Structure 1
Amino acid sequence: MRALIAAATGLAVALALVLTITAIGSPAGKTSPKPLLTTIPEHP
């Protein structure tokens, strides 16, 4: 029974944290206009 209570408490804390982060929103900032290189450029 203690394990069930601990699991429910942990789940409630995690859910509260997610909802808090969602309510605050993403931090203000801008993304780089340059695309990220995902491959190694070929050498001649």
Structure 2
Amino acid sequence: MRALTAAAIGLAAALALVLTITAIGVPAGRTSPKPLLTTVPRHP
């Protein structure tokens, strides 16, 4: 029974966190048009 209670509390906390982030909204800003480099450029 304790495990079920702990799982319910954890689920409620996770749901509250998601709802809080959703209510706050996406932070203002813009993404860079330049692609990120995933490898080190090779020098000739």
For Structure 1 versus Structure 2, the TM-score category normalised by the shorter chain is 0.7 to 0.9
Corresponding residue for residue 30 of structure 2? 30
Report the residue type matching 1:2 in the other structure. R
Percent identity over the alignment? 84
TM-score by length of 2: 0.74
Mapped to 2, the partners of 1:12 and 1:2 lie a distance apart of 15
Deviates more, 1:2-11 or 1:33-42: 33-42
Report the residue type matching 1:36 in the other structure. L
Query: Alpha-carbon deviation of 1:15?
Result: 0.7
Gapped regions of structure 2 (runs ≥ 5): none
Give the secondary structure class of the aligned counterpart of 1:26: coil
Structure 1 residue ranges (4+ consecutive) displaced by more than 2 angstroms after TM superposition: none
Gapped regions of structure 1 (runs ≥ 5): none
Corresponding residue for residue 43 of structure 1? 43
